[in-house]
């Protein structure tokens, strides 16, 4: 399994191999950064052009006419996306950005009492989530230093679920956690964490940015209260693509913490009344007018996922990352690399996390050699072989390019510091 020809044989057996041709792949480049920004597909391009054409053809009437009327697009795409996160169609809406949606959900679900005032998170979560949580605490008059509880990592890479559960004390009003840690790729047991939170009377939500499109979910059946995510990583919706959120149906009717005219019931929205009549599903948690052109690529992109199936995507993703780790251990054992992500399938997300003291300059050397990785401070290299467009031969070649870089010390000509955008 360690030769190039054996990698090609694995590709010949891959039942998802035909989908690679759907994507725009730059010749001479191995793209392993789909966990940060997914590649453009032909379907996403077509749907964007179709929406542009509807603007050209209909003008303002595009809000209600055409194949994809803009007025209903956020809800329509939410219905399509429900399959990816395992919930009812009315529990998802495509809206906002990741952080704006987090602000909306925390403003809605963080309702401190005399006994419960604290928000529970973890110290390894994506910083934007921490910024938002601190902001929401301040808006409620609480000092984040006292009221934001960040569960510590034992090894600097992962968080033990037992430590999260232990921190679910009677002072906690709300829990916000990632589904997958953005650096190490650790996949949390969302079902168990939700059950434990609810046993203690605490609501819980998840940031799915690094799992949606790579890992199946069952948010409704698990009882997760809310979730939010971006759509430009594994879902390939394009840079700045409009994000999405989920709210369990038991919370329908709850007034949104941040209201705007797109929170309204559709048949009341243009009555322009001073009092909001919120929608009776996840649509109530929209705020402003949707960004139609930044939503459009999802129309095409989601059709791929519904066609392929999340279980098929997950199985190929696991096999690709497993193959990459085996090659790394075989070919790079002499070069100080450490695999920092969990090894077990049930605890691993969609990318491999390598640690090396000279990670920043190694990433620059990889890019110079046509391999696109992702650097994470201080010493992390993220490599994401994506099921829809990466191959086993991509993985084989990338690892051997990395080996050659180390053998010939090609990385030494680059500074060991990140660029403006890592």
Residue % of the chain over a pLDDT of 70: 99
How far is Cα 111 from Cα 105, in angstroms, rounded to an integer? 11
Mean pLDDT of 9-28: 97
Of 287, 307, 327, the residue at which a domain comes to its end is 307
98 annotated ligand-binding residue: yes
Domain for residue 213, yes or no?
yes
182 lies in the same domain as 274? yes
Structural domain boundaries enclosing 145: 46-307
Considering the domain architecture, whether residues 247 and 284 belong to the same structural domain is answered as: yes
Yes or no: say if 237 and 44 are a contact pair by the CB < 8 Å rule. yes
Q: Does 382 participate in catalysis according to the annotation?
A: yes
CA 180 – CA 215 distance, rounded (Å) = 10
Assess if residue 40 is contained within a domain: no
The one catalytic residue in 19, 232, 234, 353 is: 232
Residue 210 in marked binding region: yes
Predicted confidence (pLDDT) per residue in 380-393, tens digit: 999 999 999 999 99
Interior/surface letters 351-366, b for 16+ CB within 10 angstroms, e for the rest? bbbbbbebbbbbbbbb
The pLDDT assigned to 210 comes to 98
Percent of the chain with pLDDT over 90: 97
229 appears as a binding residue in the annotation: no
Whether 226 and 346 share a structural domain: no
Domain boundary residue among 252, 279, 307?
307
Asked if residue 195 is part of any domain, the answer here is yes
- Please indicate, yes or no, whether residues 276 and 187 belong to a single structural domain of this protein: yes
Q: What is the mean pLDDT of residues 199-219?
A: 98
Instruction: Give the residue-averaged pLDDT of 331-358.
Output: 97
CATH number of the domain to which 360 belongs: 3.90.1150.10
Compute CA distances 62 → 270, 291, 293, whole Å: 16, 13, 12
Residue 293: the pLDDT is 98
* Same domain, yes or no: 173 and 207: yes
Instruction: Note whether 398 and 374 are same-domain residues.
Output: yes
Same domain, 303 and 321: no
> Is 64 labeled as ligand-binding?
no
Asked if residue 37 is part of any domain, the answer here is no
Which residue among 183, 233, 376, 410 is the active-site one?
A: 233
Residue 419 lies in a domain: no
Do 99 and 203 lie in one domain? The reply is yes
Position 184 confidence tier, pLDDT thresholds 50, 70, 90: very high
> How many residues belong to the chain?
422
pTM for the whole structure? 0.96
Where a domain ends, among 286, 307, 328? 307
- Mark whether 314 and 326 lie in a shared domain: yes
Q: What is the DSSP string of 390-404?
A: --HHHHHHHHHHHHH
45 burial level (CB within 10 Å; 0-12, 13-18, 19+): middle
Q: Is the pLDDT of residue 73 over 90?
A: yes
Mean pLDDT across the chain, nearest whole number? 97
State the average pLDDT over residues 287-314.
97
261 labeled part of a ligand binding site:
yes
Is 317 labeled as ligand-binding?
no
Among residues 207, 225, 374, 394, which one is catalytic? Answer: 207
The string of pLDDT tens digits covering residues 132-176 is 999 999 999 999 999 999 999 999 999 999 999 999 999 999 999
**Cα gap 193→164, rounded to integer Å:** 8
Q: Of 58, 126, 335, 414, which one is the catalytic site residue?
A: 126
- Which of the following is catalytic: 323, 382, 394, 410? 382
Q: What is the CATH number of the domain that holds 52?
A: 3.40.640.10
Let me know whether 301 and 328 are in one domain. Answer: no
Residues contacting 340, CB < 8 A, separation 6+: 157, 183, 184, 353, 354, 355, 380
The pLDDT, as a whole number, for residue 49 is 98
The verdict on residue 289 lying in a domain is yes
> Is 71 one of the annotated binding-site residues?
no
Q: Based on the residue annotation, tell me whether 23 is a catalytic residue of this protein.
A: no
On whether both 303 and 373 belong to a single domain, the answer is no
38 located within any domain: no
State the CB neighbour count (10 A cutoff) for residue 129. Answer: 22
Q: What is the pLDDT of residue 55?
A: 98
Contact 120, 168 (CB under 8 A): yes
**Count of domains in the chain?**
2
Both structure tokens of 326: 């085996």
**Pair 182, 129 in one domain:** yes
**Per-residue model confidence (pLDDT) at position 417:** 87
Residue 286 forms beta bridges with which residues?
A: none
Residue 421 has pLDDT above 80, yes or no: no
- Whether 33 is a known active-site residue: answer no
Q: How confident is the model at residue 418 (pLDDT cuts 50, 70, 90)?
A: confident
Residue 1's pLDDT is: 66
The residues that bridge with 206 in the sheet, in sequence order, are 177, 227
Which pLDDT score, from 0 to 100, does residue 185 have?
A: 98
Residue 280 lies in a domain: yes
207 is in an annotated binding site: yes
């Amino acid at each position: 399994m360690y030769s190039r020809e054996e990698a090609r044989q694995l590709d010949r057996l891959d039942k998802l191999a035909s989908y690679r041709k759907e994507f725009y792949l730059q010749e001479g480049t191995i793209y392993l950064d789909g966990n940060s920004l997914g590649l453009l597909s032909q379907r996403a391009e077509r749907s964007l052009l179709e929406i542009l054409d509807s603007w050209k053809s209909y003008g303002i009437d595009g809000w209600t006419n055409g194949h994809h009327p803009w007025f209903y697009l956020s809800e329509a795409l939410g219905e399509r996306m429900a399959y990816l996160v395992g919930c009812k169609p009315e529990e998802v809406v495509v809206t906002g950005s990741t952080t704006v949606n987090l602000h909306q959900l925390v403003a809605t679900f963080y309702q401190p009492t005399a006994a419960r005032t604290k928000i529970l998170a973890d110290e390894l979560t994506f910083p934007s989530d921490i910024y938002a949580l601190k902001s929401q605490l301040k808006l409620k008059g609480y000092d984040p230093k006292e009221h934001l509880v960040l569960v510590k990592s034992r090894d600097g890479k992962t968080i033990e679920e037992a430590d999260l559960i232990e921190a679910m004390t009677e002072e906690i009003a709300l829990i916000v956690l990632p589904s997958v840690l953005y650096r190490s790729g650790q996949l949390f047991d969302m079902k168990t964490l939700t059950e434990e939170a609810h046993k203690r009377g605490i609501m819980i939500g998840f940031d799915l940015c690094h799992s949606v499109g790579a890992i199946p979910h069952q948010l409704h059946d698990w009882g997760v209260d809310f979730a939010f995510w971006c759509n430009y990583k594994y879902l390939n919706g394009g840079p700045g693509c409009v994000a999405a959120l989920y709210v369990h149906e038991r919370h329908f009717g709850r007034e949104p913490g941040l209201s705007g005219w797109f929170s309204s019931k559709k048949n009341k929205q243009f009555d322009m009344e001073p009092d909001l009549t919120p929608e009776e599903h996840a649509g109530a948690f929209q705020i402003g007018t949707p960004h139609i052109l930044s939503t459009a690529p999802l129309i095409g992109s989601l059709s791929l996922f519904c066609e392929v199936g999340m279980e098929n995507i997950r199985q190929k993703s696991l096999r690709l990352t497993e193959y990459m780790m085996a090659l790394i251990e075989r070919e790079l054992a002499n070069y100080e690399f450490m695999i920092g992500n969990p090894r077990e399938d049930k605890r691993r997300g969609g990318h491999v996390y390598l640690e090396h003291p000279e990670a920043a300059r190694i990433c620059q050397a990889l890019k110079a050699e046509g391999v696109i990785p992702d650097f994470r401070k201080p010493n992390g290299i993220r490599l994401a072989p994506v099921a829809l467009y990466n191959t086993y031969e991509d993985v084989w070649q990338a690892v051997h390019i990395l080996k050659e870089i180390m053998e010939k010390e090609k990385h030494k000509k680059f500074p060991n510091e990140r660029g403006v955008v890592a």
